[in-house]
Amino acid sequence: MKFATLNISGRATPVVVSPDDTGFCPIERLLQDFRGDMPDLIARAPNPERDLPQVSSWTPLAGHRLLAPIPRPRRNIFCVGKNYHEHAREFAQSGFDTSAKKGEVAPEAPVVFTKAPSTVVADGDPVLSFAAITQQLDYEAELAVIIGTPGRGITRAAALDHVWGYTIVNDVTARDLQQRHRQWFLGKSMDSFCPMGPAIVTAPEVGDPTNLAVRCWINGELRQDANTRDLIFDIPTIIEAISRGMTLEPGDVIATGTPAGVGIGFSPPRFLKPGDIMKIAIDRLGTLTNTVAP
């Protein structure tokens, strides 16, 4: 199944999207007493294929504004840095990595940081350039995991049982702020720095998350081209690490890392500028496209 959030009569409304992407059905039509947001739906229907009735009719999707699937996450977005071997290498060589031990390329354990909820924007929304604050704006195509069943101390063996679905995020980053402050939060948490969407595809629909192509084009030029099988730390390992002493909750978003080909990986670096179009595609999840605004 595929779920999205639409702006219907000025309200962010969770919906089921039809298999051909042309129609939708509001969740409140399936659950008569439901008036919540996407995290409420995830908590209410941890297994949507089982917990929701079948859709009997679809409303045309054309003409409705698509929001991010979780327009305002209830907690910071969990992110994993340096989680593809080639990206870890290009980051180490770039001079922008202040987190590594001397001589280290691949980390010994997942490098986890967060992005503020206010970073999230939808497919098609502009990404602000903040030209007065940063001159080194970069892109990062990532597979994101959406937690369904809550838990703390989740084991690798049980981790995928806690996954509700998957979506695409673009971990937009101000590299100069990331380097100057010697931590990643400020450079990654500026407003609009987490395009997300276009929808959440449920775990059963996606199937095996270890073999998904991840690609990113800038102005039509293919920059990132990898597969999730290249992750240093796989999804179960990431969930186990984050949940060891912290309860993961329904609707939590975990971005799993970006492959090689980001702007700082080039010599000289190829940073984003106003007007640049970023397009990310991940198998079975669709495409996420955003333009850098002035």
What percent of the chain shows pLDDT beyond 70?
A: 96
Bridge-partner residues for 19, per DSSP? none
Read off the amino acid at residue 146. I
Which segments of the chain have a pLDDT < 70? 94-104
**How big is the CA angle at 238 (ends 235 and 243), to the nearest 5 degrees?**
125
Read off the amino acid at residue 85. H
pLDDT of residue 85: 86
pLDDT digits (tens, 9 = 90+) for 83-122: 998 877 877 776 666 665 555 678 899 999 999 999 999 9
pLDDT of residue 136: 97
Sign of CA dihedral 271, 198, 144, 212: negative
Count CA atoms closer than 13 A to 32's CA, side-chain side.
Answer: 0
Burial of 294 (0-12, 13-18, 19+ CB in 10 A): exposed
pLDDT of residue 88: 74
Structure tokens belonging to residue 127: 């990404």
Distance of alpha carbon 178 from the chain centroid = 19
Q: Tell me how far apart the alpha carbons of residues 206 and 1 are, in angstroms, rounded to a whole number.
A: 9
Read off the amino acid at residue 201. V
**Residue with the two structure tokens 């354990």:** 109
Q: Tell me how far apart the alpha carbons of residues 164 and 44 are, in angstroms, rounded to a whole number.
A: 12
pLDDT of residue 94: 64
Q: Tell me how far apart the alpha carbons of residues 118 and 192 are, in angstroms, rounded to a whole number.
A: 7
pLDDT of residue 102: 55
For the chain, give percent helix, strand, coil, nearest 5.
20, 35, 45
**How big is the CA angle at 179 (ends 175 and 181), to the nearest 5 degrees?**
120
Across 216-237, b (16+ Cβ under 10 Å) vs e yields bbbeeeebbebebebbbbbbbb
Q: Tell me how far apart the alpha carbons of residues 219 and 108 are, in angstroms, rounded to a whole number.
A: 35
Q: Give the SS3 label for residue 278.
A: strand
Per residue, the 3-state secondary structure of 7-48, as one string, reads: EECCEEEEEEECCCCCEEEEHHHHCCCCCCCHHHHHHHCCCH
pLDDT of residue 101: 57
Q: What are phi and psi of 41, to 5 degrees?
A: -65, -45
